[in-house]
Amino acid sequence: MVNLKRKENCRVIEQKRIGRDVYSLWLETKDIASNAAPGQFVMLYGKDGSRLLPRPISVCQTKGNELRLAYRVVGAGTEEFSRLEAGQSLEVLGPLGSGFPIEEVRGKKTLLLGGGIGIPPMLEAAAQLKENVTAVLGYKDEVFLKEDFEKFCPVVYAIEDEAAEADGAIKGNVLDAVREQGVQADVIFACGPAPMLRAIQVYAQGRNIPCWISMEERMACGIGACLGCVCDAVQEDAHLRVYRKRVCKDGPVFLSTEVEL
Amino acid sequence: MMPEIHMGVEIAGVKLKNPVMTASGTFGSGAEYGEYVDLNRLGAVVTKGVSSVPWSGNPAPRIAETYGGMLNAVGLQNPGVETFCQRDIPFLKQYDTRVIVNVCGRTVEDYCQVVERLAEEPVDLLEINVSCPNVKEGGIAFGQDAKALEEITRQMKRRAAQPIIMKLSPNVADIGEMARAAQAGGADAISLINTLTGMKIDVHKKTFALANRTGGLSGPAIKPVAVRMVYEASHAVDLPVIGMGGIQNAEDAVEFLLAGACAVSVGTANFKNPCVTQEIVEGLEAYMQKYGMSDVRDLIGAVDAFQETD
């Protein structure tokens, strides 16, 4: 009899609001944190029966058996999670999906590009790479997690909102910051909203820089069965036999050359 | 010692070890969920819809959550019957469970190609999907017109090597009429309900939540509709009825059995708990023990008898 996987009931160690709608949640896990790679995600299950579907949240950081998630409250489901306090528990499934290929790029000059709520998954990548890595973080107006990144690597950051005041910030988006600072890269890891990823895809392909992007889509099962979260693929997928890929199972991290954005 | 509880049921001569099956489209072909449940414990695995050639399905977003349910507009994406036969059937045959293949198509010829290709395969039953609301042609076009349903049932019956289950749509005025049409066409069993056609609008973006605009509503929100339709259909025809629609736990499964289903399919609940199918099998056994029952078949359609003894 094979060992079957299950959800874990995880204890909340700490929850902090780190931005207007952004929360940092540390969970005590049995196996999830120690098995998680940067770029992978977990499914969080709420207790309110009116909401059936779990919420996919990227791994932000791990420390032994402790798992950190940073997420934005965008609706009732994430709002429910934001009310969790230390000592309470939460059902979690994971880690799920593909991660960034850390060992494959080690030693190469790696650029981490995070935009908005795409910033958290880059933190564990920074922590694991440690050397030859620069993080470029793009914010709309409010800065979060920047100091966490600074523990692991040099950070450049950009703010889109002209009115926002922040020392050393570049006005504009992630790619504006890359260009203005002349940041060089052998490899790019990126996560953020679709328009940002599209621009990075073009940027990387134009310069022949290998680039991995982490994608987001509405999910149901999270394990590759329901085909709810597909994206368009450049080539026919060997498993699905159509020009699609499953974000939850084949991704969320893809080579930028294998998906259509 | 506890008396032995008989959990087995029969559909068109095919014996299932228990009445708990998966609902098509929610369980892939079993490989992904095989990491979370012991497929040997299930009465049957009902696969995702299989068409004659690969289908790409609808654009994303394909999923939207609604109160107590969800909408999907996957659009029957699947790798086609050839890949299915070469890869997915051998996987499922590793397990001691029944294999039920859901068959979809746009034209009668599409359906015929699939059932003919499956004729020599080690498949126990075919479920003919004439009720998917997410594909423009075929599918539901056959499932909303009694004459068309009877005719495609007859075509399938003529070509299929295995017994056929016609999967009915709830998006009809009279489910009894549709059940009778399936029976008239020679169906060996019927299953219901498929999803209810729905729509969700994002009031912040002022756009449709699904790229396809409409999708199929599933989950506990539809369960009372499903129970009522299973009850009506089981009274309309003399065929085995497979019940589904919002089953989340063993008590929900019992409700469908009492209404007249001889087996049940669990769908959307898999997304909330990937281990749920096995838990429902165990919960059903516990229910039998709790009420001192020795044969699960005694539940089938028993609600009427319990009314009379009141």
B70:A52 CB<8 A: yes
Alpha carbon A106 to chain centroid, angstroms: 19
In a domain, B4, yes or no: no
Rounded to a whole number of angstroms, the distance from the CA of A51 to the nearest CA of chain B is 6
- Beta partners for A68? A26, A61
Q: How many domains does chain B have?
A: 1
In a domain, B171, yes or no: yes
A5:B35 CB<8 A: yes
A226:B72 CB<8 A: yes
A241:B79 CB<8 A: yes
Helix A174-181 to helix A194-206 angle (10° resolution) is 30
> B64 — contact with chain A (CB < 8 Å)?
yes
- Span A179-214, pLDDT tens digits: 998 889 999 999 999 999 999 999 999 999 999 999
| B274 → closest Cβ in A1, A223, A244 | A223
In a domain, B3, yes or no: no
What is A213-251 written as a DSSP string?
A: EE-----SSSSSSS--SEEEESS--TTTSSSEEETTTT-
Percent of chain A with pLDDT over 90: 94
3-state SS assignment for residue A12: strand
Cα distance between residue A75 and residue B236, in whole Å: 44
B70:A244 CB<8 A: no
Model confidence, pTM: 0.95
Helix B250-259 to helix B223-236 angle (10° resolution) is 30
Measured between CA atoms, the residue of chain A closest to residue B53 is A241
Q: Take residue B2 and report the two structure tokens written for it.
A: 């506890």
Measured between CA atoms, the residue of chain A closest to residue B39 is A4
Q: Which of residues 186-215 of B touch A (CB under 8 A)?
A: none
Enumerate domains of chain A plus CATH numbers.
8-95 (2.40.30.10), 111-202 (3.40.50.80)
Q: Which residues contact A83 (CB under 8 A, 6 or more apart)?
A: none
Rounded to a whole number of angstroms, the distance from the CA of B287 to the nearest CA of chain A is 22
A6:B275 CB<8 A: yes
Positions of E strands within chain B: 9-11, 14-16, 20-22, 44-46, 63-66, 69-72, 98-103, 125-129, 164-167, 189-192, 196-199, 201-202, 207-208, 214-218, 241-244, 263-266
> A239 — contact with chain B (CB < 8 Å)?
yes
In a domain, B267, yes or no: yes
Q: Which of residues 15-34 of A touch B (CB under 8 A)?
A: none
Q: Take residue B137 and report the two structure tokens written for it.
A: 């042609």
In a domain, B33, yes or no: yes
Q: How many CB atoms lie within 10 A of CB B79?
A: 24
CA distances from A200 to A89, A106, A120, A207, B223 (A): 38, 21, 18, 11, 46
Phi/psi at B210 (5° precision) = -105, 140
CA distances from B57 to A245, A261, B76, B196 (A): 12, 17, 6, 18
> B176 — contact with chain A (CB < 8 Å)?
no
**Under a CB-based contact definition with an 8 Å cutoff, are residues B212 and B205 in contact?**
no
Q: Token match 């490899």: residue? A: A187
**Under a CB-based contact definition with an 8 Å cutoff, are residues B246 and B225 in contact?**
no
| Amino acid letter, B4 | E
> A259 — contact with chain B (CB < 8 Å)?
no
Chain A residues closer than 8 Å to B63 by CB = 53, 218-220, 226, 228-229
**Under a CB-based contact definition with an 8 Å cutoff, are residues A235 and A209 in contact?**
no
The residues of B that are catalytic are 132
Measured between CA atoms, the residue of chain A closest to residue B202 is A75
Q: How many CB atoms lie within 10 A of CB A151?
A: 10
CATH of the domain at B100: 3.20.20.70
Nearest CA to A117 out of A157, A145, A159, A85 is that of A145
- Span A76-85, pLDDT tens digits: 999 999 999 9
3-state SS assignment for residue A56: strand
Q: What is the count of residue pairs from A and B with beta carbons less than 8 Å apart?
A: 116
A1:B32 CB<8 A: no
What's the farthest any 2 CA atoms get from each other in chain B? 62
CA distances from A46 to A31, A116, B243 (A): 20, 24, 27
| Amino acid letter, B220 | P
B80:A241 CB<8 A: yes
Q: Is the ipTM of this complex over 0.85?
A: yes
pLDDT, averaged per 10 consecutive residues of chain B (310 residues), comes to 85 98 97 97 97 96 97 96 98 98 94 97 97 70 90 96 97 96 98 97 96 97 98 98 98 98 98 97 97 97 84
Full domain range(s) for residue B139: 9-308
Phi/psi at A15 (5° precision) = -130, 130
What is B101-130 written as a DSSP string?
A: EEE--SSHHHHHHHHHHHTTSS-SEEEEE-
Q: Is the omega angle on the peptide bond into residue A252 within 30 degrees of 0, that is, cis?
A: yes
In a domain, B2, yes or no: no
Chain B residues closer than 8 Å to A220 by CB = 63, 70, 72, 268, 271
Per-residue pLDDT of chain A (261 residues; tens, 9 = 90+): 568 999 999 999 999 999 999 999 999 999 999 999 999 999 999 999 999 999 999 999 999 999 999 999 999 999 999 999 999 999 999 999 999 999 999 999 999 999 999 999 999 999 999 999 999 999 999 999 999 999 999 999 999 988 777 788 999 999 999 999 888 999 999 999 999 999 999 999 999 999 999 999 999 999 999 999 999 999 999 999 999 999 999 999 999 999 999
Chain B residues closer than 8 Å to A45 by CB = 272-273
CA dihedral B295→B300→B303→B306, nearest 10 degrees, is -30
